[in-house]
Every structure is written in C-alpha cells, then in structure tokens.
Amino acid sequence: MVPLYLHMMPMNELEYFARSAALNGYAEASIGLGVDPFAMLSELGLPAACLSEPDLLIPTQSVLELFERTSAKTGVLDLGLRISEARKFSTMGAVGLLMREQPTLRSAIGVVSENLWIHVGGVSIAIEESLDLSLLMPLIAPQAGGPRRQAIELMAAMTVKIIRRFLPTNWQPEMISFAHSRPRDLALHIKVFGQAPIFESDRNAVVIKKRDLDTKILEADPVNAGELRRYLQFIAGERNDRFVVRAEKVVSILLPRGECRIDEVAIFFGVSRRTLQRRLEEDGTSFEKVVQGARAKLARTYLGSNDLSMTAISQLLGFSCLSAFSRWKKTNAQSING
C-alpha cells in the first residue's frame, strides 16, 4: 500500500528540469556516430526544437537517458566526452560570464556549482578538500536519474575545460577518477584529460592541487559580477524555498523508503555531505533536527490514520523496530501533538 503521506504530496515537486541548451553538442556527436538525433529525441518524447531552441524546459532525467540510449545504440562508451568536445562556453550563458568575473578560480567553480540548477536541475559540482588536494565531484541527484556514465564524464570534461580557461594551457589535473568500469579504448579520455582516468573508484572526481583553486583571475570585475548576479536572479528567479524547507521535503520522502541517511540527502541535492551540513547550519539547524522535524510531521499524519498499524508507522518513519519508535514517540510527544 502507498503510504498516506505520499498520496498527499505530489512527487513531481522534486522533479528536475533542464534548459534544452543542456543538449548542446549532442547533435554533432550523434551525427558523427551515424545516429539520427531527431529520431533519438522522438524515442523519449522530446520535441525536435530542443536542438535549435536553447530555452525549452525538458526533464533532466530525459537528457541523461538520451545520452545513455545513444551510447548503447552506437556501442560508444565515450559519448559524453564527444559531446564535451563539441560544446562551447557560450552554452553557459550568464553563468559563464559571472564565472569570468570572480576573483579566484575557487569562486568561479563555486559560481558554477551554485547556479548550475538554472541550466540543469539536479546536478552540481561539489568541492571537497584534503591536505593539499581538492576534489571536484560531479553529482547527480537520484530524482534526476542518478549517476549516469555519459553525464558524469561530460561534467568532468567540462570541469576540466573550465579550469583550463583560467590556468596555463599545459595544465593537467592530478587525477581523474570514475566509479564506472573501464572502456576498452581510452584514446579520447587521454586526449580530453591529458591522462588515463582511474576507473571503478569509490567516487567520480577531478583531483587538482588546492593552490590551483586559489589562482587569481586577473580580468575579474567585481562591479560587473554584481550586475550579472542581479541579472541571473531576474531571469531565473530565486529557488522557491529556503534550503532547510527543501531539505525537509526530501527527508519526508526518503524516510518511508528507509533511505534517509545524510549521504543520500546530500546526493539528492547534488552536494557533498559537508556542504549539506554547512547549508543547514546557515539556516540555523542541523540534519538531525531536520529529520526529527520531518518525523514529527509525518507521525501526526500517520497516527491520524486508522489504516496503519504501529509497526507500519514505525517502518514509515525509518525506525528499525517498534520499540525504537515507541521510545521516540514518548520522548517527542509534544512536537508530535503540535
């Protein structure tokens, strides 16, 4: 039986959409492989105008699936890299211009990560730093289709292309790693990244020296950067809810599925665990408090239903056993009763 709460909450609240500009480079890559791009679009119910009109809104999941189907049809495992080779910086529009006006490469990458949702919802570039290295990790939220080989490699290739826009032309990353398996032919990977990536790794990442992120962008103009930020807000609007509100929505959906771990929620937003914690702290809360708040709201709904047993409710709230739920219910009686 579908839980009562899920009947009440439209699942498309968390559906992600992309500008059709996300397909930039796809037509060239697919035609080069002898595939009709319009026929592939038709298979997924996408309009042909996606390849000529950059501002149509299409599901992010359809974009990812299009790349995977084309790869499977041609047997070519480096399609994402081929798309990256055909893609230009102009695809990024105002985000690309804002990136250019940042004081350092670190803040330029931050601009991409923070504003990528304007172009492709559900994807992000998370930054994790350790000792003298930085990991730039392409992430795709589960609701957007989850990690897909072609999209992950495309994002990694575009990350490297962005970095090379500001560093010397002979710059190379320290390492490239992918969670998926190694293809037979690595020629294009070596051409794009300057090295053979490590495959079947524990994460997808572009690894660079931390000091590279601190490289100053000499042509940066803070006044122009401010104007561009205001322009982005005007054309794209703000995200509807505070981060904590959106986090609670995600937690409320993942709890009944038994998948409500901080790492899972972070992936859903396309950020690292550390970034998720920081964003919640900025909103004056923590992941634990968000989970407790979401549980209390769900409990009020479930306990008001005559169709659910206490065992079923405990499972829907993410408890491993009825006794754990009973203890939590007693401790949190005031918040449950509202």
Q: Is the pLDDT of residue 9 over 60?
A: no
The separation between the first and the last C-alpha atoms of the chain, rounded to the nearest angstrom, is 27
Q: What percent of the chain has pLDDT over 90?
A: 35
pTM listed for this prediction:
0.69
Please, what sign has the CA dihedral across residues 248, 254, 256, 258?
A: negative
Q: Output the domain CATH number for residue 292.
A: 1.10.10.60
Annotate 144-179 with b (16+ C-beta within 10 A) or e (fewer).
Answer: bbebbbbbbbbbbbbbbebbeebeeeeeebebbbbe
Q: Is the predicted pLDDT of residue 241 greater than 60, yes or no?
A: no
Using CA atoms, how far apart are residues 166 and 100, in angstroms rounded to an integer? 9
- Evaluate whether 282 touches 155 at the Cβ level (below 8 Å): no
Confidence tier at 234 by pLDDT (50, 70, 90): low
3 occurs within a structural domain: no
> How many domains does the chain divide into?
2
Verify that 81 and 204 share a domain, yes or no. yes
pLDDT digits (tens, 9 = 90+) for 301-325: 778 766 678 888 888 888 888 888 8
For the stretch 136-150, pLDDT in tens is 999 888 777 777 999
pLDDT tens for each residue of 87-104: 877 777 778 888 888 899
The pLDDT, as a whole number, for residue 28 is: 96
Nearest one of 262, 289, 283, 285 to 273, comparing CA atoms:
262
The stretch 266-287 carries a mean pLDDT of 82
Task: Please give the Cα distance from 222 to 219 (Å, whole number).
Answer: 10
Mean pLDDT of the 36-43 span: 95
Instruction: Give the list of residues 6+ apart from residue 316 with CB closer than 8 angstroms, or none.
Output: 3, 5, 255, 256, 298, 302, 308
Q: Do 78 and 218 fall into the same domain?
A: yes
pLDDT at 162 over 80: yes
pLDDT-based confidence at residue 4 (cuts at 50, 70, 90) = very low
Q: Is residue 2 part of a domain?
A: no
> What is the pLDDT, as a whole number, of residue 235?
55
Q: Please check whether residues 146 and 110 belong to one and the same domain.
A: yes
**Distance between CA atoms of 23 and 28, rounded to whole angstroms?**
10
Task: Let me know whether 104 and 174 are in one domain.
Answer: yes
Domain span holding position 109: 12-232
What pLDDT sits at residue 8?
A: 32
Do both 66 and 158 map to the same domain?
yes
Here the CATH number for the domain that contains residue 166 is: 3.90.1520
Q: Assess if residue 281 is contained within a domain.
A: yes
